[in-house]
């Protein structure tokens, strides 16, 4: 029997699973249909059928979005007692267990195809959690995720903070031991976390208490785009006053075409000019406006300069934490470091540019990996979690830069 350990990045919008074999190599599995992972979506149908991932998104998008059947972003709602869905009541723990179980199923299917033995054991896992969960007085969300993982069939479950997992992945990619501080900025779908790792005399890393913002993530940039377009429609169409603005915003956020999310990804590409306009077709039907014929379209335009402008307040809030963490890491007095950006939302050029403005312009930090700051934005956390799951006692793994007592969450 082949023994594998799992690393799970349970994300707000998308989730990944990493599988680490005995040789220390990690395979990352996500969605076959997109490069952005398995949707962290739960669908509860009228026939009491429970679906997660791509199947849940497909069912949720095939009909008009119905909040009584779909739960998205459950990671932000773990303190909710229960969800009253069509046909029954479900708990956050149940939904998390369904998502983790789906991840395990995908990993087993993929690994059976790769493993000639065909007999797999996947009983242990490390699951990533945001830094902000540490503020719970009774560690409620930590316990919920661990219990949900056990419900999904995992026996040995540990938790690791997301930026720490990204740092482990980054260190493993280096050809020689990193001797300078490492500052990790992780901007995921729903949270922003920062971790500072400072080398000890024996060159292992001391992980300073990470910092995090719970209410800001990539979905905030998506919501800002939605609000901008609804404002534009208000100005373009006098009949817009006849529809519910809040309902329209929700419909755009959950529209089956994913037009706003795809637009955000387009505006995040490095190779487009800041002033290059992109036309965005938005169906009147999506806005639930009964005063227009079906399939009529608003054509709206936007470029990255506009996108950056409407999301500037979000960026400035993040940069406050960047500033605080830079001082905490001692970069104002010892300005040489490795800087790592992880999380899917870190692709947005304004994130990298804003962080560089603090580190280089304010504190004069020499960034040793400036051209390689963005490290596996979607997969670094699952990869680092899988490595730590298999055991950092393997001597060649991550150059002995970490000790087990430092990296796991103590609950």
Of residues 67 and 324, more confidence is placed in 324
Name the percent of the chain lying above pLDDT 90: 46
- Say whether both 205 and 323 belong to one domain: yes
pLDDT of residue 345: 94
Residue 157 lies in a domain: yes
Residue 318 lies in a domain: yes
Res 292: pLDDT = 47
Contact 33, 42 (CB under 8 A): no
Specify whether the CB–CB gap between 30 and 13 falls below 8 A: no
Single residue among 310, 328, 357 that ends a domain in this structure: 310
- Out of 20-24, 305-309, 400-404, pick the least confident: 400-404
What residues make up the domain containing 204?
Answer: 178-216+314-372
Cβ atoms 67, 77 nearer than 8 A:
no
Q: Residue 14: is its pLDDT beyond 80?
A: yes
Spatial separation of the C-alpha atoms in residues 378 and 346, rounded to whole Å: 9
- Lowest average pLDDT, out of 68-82, 94-108, 168-182, goes to 168-182
Q: What is the mean pLDDT of residues 141-170?
A: 94
Same domain for 205 and 337? Answer: yes
Question: 266 and 234, same structural domain?
Answer: yes
The confidence score (pLDDT) of residue 211 equals 92
Longest dimension (CA), the chain: 71
Q: Is the pLDDT of residue 315 over 60?
A: yes
Same structural domain, 353 and 279: no
Q: How many residues does the chain have?
A: 411
* pLDDT digit string, tens, across residues 245-272: 666 666 666 664 577 888 898 999 888 8
Q: Are 79 and 32 found together in one domain? A: yes
Chain-centroid distance, C-alpha 207:
21
| Token pair of 364 as six digits | 């004069």
Total domain count, the chain: 3
Shared domain for 244 and 384, answered yes or no, is no
Asked if residue 242 and residue 346 are part of one domain, the reply reads: no
Give CA–CA dist 356/339, Å, rounded: 10
Asked if residue 108 is part of any domain, the answer here is: yes
290: CATH: 3.90.640.10
Confidence class for position 397, pLDDT limits 50, 70, 90: very low
Are 384 and 366 within one domain? no
Q: Considering the domain boundaries, does residue 346 fall inside one?
A: yes
Closest CA to 16 of 149, 114, 113, 106: 106
The number of C-alpha atoms within 13 Å of 339 and in the hemisphere containing its C-beta is 24
- Residues 326-378 have pLDDT tens digits of 999 888 887 899 999 999 999 999 999 999 999 999 999 999 999 999 999 99
What lies within 8 Å, CB to CB, of 346 at 6+ separation is: 185, 186, 187, 352, 374, 377
* 39 and 104 assigned to the same domain: yes
Express each pLDDT in 214-248 by its tens digit: 999 999 999 999 888 888 877 765 554 455 666 66
Nearest to 393 by CA among 7, 22, 129: 22
Residue 347 lies in a domain: yes
Q: Does 74 fall in a domain?
A: yes
List the end-to-end C-alpha distance of the chain, in Å, as a whole number: 32
138, part of any domain: yes
Q: Residues 22, 159: one domain?
A: yes
**Residues 195 and 247 both lie in one domain:** no
User: Residue 334: what pLDDT?
Assistant: 78
Domain-ending residue, one of 310, 336, 358: 310
Give domain status of residue 173, yes or no: no
Picking from 270, 292, 310, the residue at the C-terminal end of a domain is 310
Do residue 263 and residue 137 come from a single domain?
Answer: no
Confidence of residue 291 (pLDDT cuts 50, 70, 90): very low
pLDDT in tens, 118-140: 566 777 899 999 999 988 778 99
* CATH number of the domain enclosing 92: 3.30.420.40
Top mean pLDDT of 58-62, 70-74, 170-174 is at 70-74
Alpha-carbon distance 245 to 250, whole Å? 9
Q: Does 154 score more than 80 pLDDT?
A: yes
- Range with the poorest average pLDDT among 75-89, 90-104, 168-182, 348-362: 168-182
């Amino acid at each position: 029997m082949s023994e594998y350990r799992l690393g799970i990045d349970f994300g707000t919008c998308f989730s990944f699973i990493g599988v680490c074999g005995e040789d220390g190599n990690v395979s990352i599995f996500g969605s076959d249909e997109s490069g952005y992972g398995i949707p962290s979506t739960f669908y509860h149908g009228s026939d009491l059928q429970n679906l997660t991932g791509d199947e849940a998104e497909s069912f949720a998008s095939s009909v008009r979005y119905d909040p009584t059947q779909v739960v998205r972003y459950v990671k932000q709602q773990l303190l909710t007692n229960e969800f009253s869905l069509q046909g029954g009541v479900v708990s956050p723990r149940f939904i998390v267990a369904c998502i983790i179980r789906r991840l395990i199923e995908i990993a087993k299917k993929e690994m059976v195809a790769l493993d000639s033995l065909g007999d797999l054991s996947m009983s242990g896992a490390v699951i990533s959690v945001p830094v902000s969960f540490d503020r719970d007085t009774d560690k409620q969300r930590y316990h919920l995720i661990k219990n949900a993982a056990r419900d999904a069939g995992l026996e040995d479950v540990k938790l690791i903070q997301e930026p720490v997992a990204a740092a482990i992945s980054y260190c493993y990619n280096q050809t020689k031991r990193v001797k300078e501080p490492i500052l990790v900025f992780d901007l995921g779908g729903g949270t922003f976390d920062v971790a500072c790792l400072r080398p000890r005399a024996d060159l292992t890393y001391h992980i300073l208490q990470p910092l995090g913002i719970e209410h800001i993530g990539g979905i905030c940039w998506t919501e800002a785009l939605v609000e901008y377009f609804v404002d534009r429609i208000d100005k373009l169409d006098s009949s817009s006053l006849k529809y519910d603005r809040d309902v329209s915003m929700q419909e755009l956020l959950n529209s089956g075409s994913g037009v706003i999310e795809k637009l955000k990804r387009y505006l995040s590409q490095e190779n487009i000019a800041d002033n290059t306009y992109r036309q965005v077709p938005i169906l009147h039907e999506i806005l639930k406006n009964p005063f227009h014929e079906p399939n009529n379209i608003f054509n709206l335009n936007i470029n990255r300069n506009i996108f950056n402008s409407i999301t500037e307040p979000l960026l400035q809030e993040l940069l406050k934490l960047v500033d605080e963490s830079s001082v905490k890491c001692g970069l104002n007095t010892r300005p040489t470091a490795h800087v790592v950006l992880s999380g899917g939302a870190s692709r947005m050029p304004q994130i990298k540019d804003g962080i560089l403005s603090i580190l280089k312009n304010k504190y004069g930090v020499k960034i040793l990996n400036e051209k390689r700051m963005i490290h596996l934005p979607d997969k670094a956390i699952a990869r680092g979690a899988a490595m730590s799951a298999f055991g950092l006692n393997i001597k060649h793994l991550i150059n002995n830069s970490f000790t087990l007592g430092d990296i796991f969450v103590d609950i």
